[in-house]
Amino acid sequence: MSLVDPCRCPLCGQANGCAVAAANPAAGKSGTDCWCRAVTVPAALQDRVPAPARGTACLCPDCVRSSGARGAHRTRDPGGREAILLRTDRGDEALVAQDGAQVLHYRCRGRDVLWTASRPEHRPQKPVRGGVPLVFPWFGDHPTNRALPAHGFARASTWRLRAASAAPAASFTLDADAASLALWPHRFAMRLDVALDTALRLQWTITNTDTTTWTAEVALHTYFAVGEVAEAVVHGLQGVPHTEHAAAPEPAWDQAAPLRFRAETDRIFQGVPARLRLEAGALRRTIELETAGAPSAIVWNPWPAKTARLPQMAADDWRHFVCIESAAVRERALQLAPGQSHQLELVIAAREPE
C-alpha cells in the first residue's frame, strides 16, 4: 500500500485546491463528510477519490491552508491517527504521529529522507515499520520474558501533545501509568521535542521519577532511504568497538574501512563519535548525523531471509533502506538515580546536489 499524504489532494497530488473548489459547502449535505469534518464533500467528487485515499487524504479548506503554511499543524496520519505536520518556508516537512511520538516521514525538497516499509500499518498504538520509532526501556527482545513487546512499550504508547508552534516545532510527553508499570515496574517521565529547519532535530529527555535508581535502554530506531543498499556507505564507525548480532553476517570485513552492506548486518557499536555520515549513492544524497547523549549506534539491514519473517515488509524492501540507530544500550544503557534526567539528541541533515 502506498503512503497517502493526508494534506495533499488525492486526485492531483498538489495542495488540493482543485478538490476544495469542487467540495463547496454550499453544495449542501448531499455528499460525505471529509474525515476531519471541516467540509462536506459532494458524492461526485468522493467517487473520484482513489479507494486507498478515502478517509485518509484530506479535501478540507483548513487542511489546505495548513499544508502550504510554515509551522506546526494538527492533521492525521494515513491511518487516521492524530498527528502533527511540521513544514518550513521552503516546503520541507515532517509528519509525527502521537502514537509512539513516531516521526513517520521527513521530506527534504520533496524527497523522502526516511524510509517506510511497503506495507505499513497505521493502527492505534502500533508502531509503523519506518521513520523513527522510539525504543524504551529495553532494546530488542526483553532479556528474560520474550512474551513482552520487542523494543519496549514507548513506540506503541500514545503520547500527549504538549506544545506546537510556528517555529515549526512540537513537543510530546509520556509518563508512567498502570499499563507501563505492568510491563516495567519503574516510574519515569519523557519528553520528545521535534523541530524542523534546515535539518530534522530530535531531543528526547528521559527522567527517573521513581524513588530508586533504574537502568533502561533507549534508541532512536531511524530508517533511512538509500535507494539501493549495495551503494550505501556509513562513515565514522571505522575502528569503533562493536559486536555483530546478525544470524548470517558478512564473514569478514575491513574494520578500518567505511561500513558497506554485503550481507545481513546487525552491529552494535559502543563509544561512537558524535558525527556520522551516510552516503546513499543510488539517490545521490549524503545524510549527516550529529548526536549527543548517544554512546551507542546500531547499524541494521535484515537482508532477504530475515525480511521474509518481518511484518509490513515486501520481499525486496531490504534493498532500499538502512537503519542507523542513535542509542544507549547494553553496557552503555542509561542508569538514572531518582530525579536524574538524560537527553539524547539527534540532528539529521540531508545534502543533495543543487
Q: Give which of 196, 193, 192 is closest to 108, Cα–Cα.
A: 196
Query: Each residue of 236-275: pLDDT tens digit?
Result: 999 999 999 999 999 999 999 999 999 999 999 999 999 9
Query: Each residue of 138-156: pLDDT tens digit?
Result: 999 999 999 999 999 999 9
Query: Each residue of 121-140: pLDDT tens digit?
Result: 999 999 999 999 999 999 99
Q: Work out the average pLDDT over 329-339.
A: 98
CATH code of the domain in which 311 resides: 2.70.98.10
Whether residue 123 sits in one domain with residue 42: no
Banded pLDDT at 53 (limits 50, 70, 90)? low
pLDDT at 165 over 60: yes
Whether residue 59 sits in one domain with residue 94: no
Q: Which amino acid is at 173?
A: T
Task: Tally the residues of the chain.
Answer: 354
Mean pLDDT computed over every residue of the chain = 88
Query: Each residue of 106-123: pLDDT tens digit?
Result: 999 889 999 999 999 999
Q: Give which of 67, 65, 59, 66 is closest to 43, Cα–Cα.
A: 59
Q: Work out the average pLDDT over 149-178.
A: 94
Whether residue 255 sits in one domain with residue 136: yes
pLDDT at 3 over 50: no
Q: pLDDT at position 29, please?
A: 44
Percentage of the chain exceeding pLDDT 70: 80
| Grid cell listed for 163 | 506544545
| Grid cell listed for 308 | 521474509
Whether residue 245 sits in one domain with residue 103: yes
CA dist 327 to 97, 282, 331, 342, Å? 21, 27, 11, 12
Query: Each residue of 59-71: pLDDT tens digit?
Result: 654 444 444 668 8
Whether residue 28 sits in one domain with residue 161: no
pLDDT at 227 over 80: yes
Which of the listed residues 25, 40, 68 is the one where a domain comes to its end?
68
Maximum C-alpha span of the chain: 69
pLDDT at 25 over 80: no
Whether residue 101 sits in one domain with residue 232: yes
The domain in which residue 34 lies consists of 1-68
Whether residue 286 sits in one domain with residue 156: yes
Banded pLDDT at 55 (limits 50, 70, 90)? low
Whether residue 196 sits in one domain with residue 270: yes
Whether residue 79 sits in one domain with residue 58: no
Whether residue 108 sits in one domain with residue 198: yes
Whether residue 254 sits in one domain with residue 224: yes
pLDDT at 28 over 50: no
- The SS3 of residue 53 is helix
Q: Give which of 343, 168, 321 is closest to 231, Cα–Cα.
A: 321
Query: Each residue of 274-307: pLDDT tens digit?
Result: 999 999 999 999 999 999 999 999 999 999 999 9
Which of the listed residues 19, 50, 68 is the one where a domain comes to its end?
68
> What are the residues whose beta carbons fall under 8 Å from the beta carbon of 301, sequence distance 6 or more?
229, 261, 264, 265, 318, 321, 322, 323
pLDDT at 216 over 90: yes
Q: pLDDT at position 91, please?
A: 86
Whether residue 61 sits in one domain with residue 137: no
pLDDT at 13 over 70: no
Query: Each residue of 78-111: pLDDT tens digit?
Result: 888 999 999 998 889 999 999 999 999 999 988 9
Percentage of the chain exceeding pLDDT 90: 74
Number of domains in the chain: 2
CA dist 31 to 6, 49, 294, Å? 20, 13, 52
Which of the listed residues 18, 52, 68 is the one where a domain comes to its end?
68
Q: pLDDT at position 71, please?
A: 86
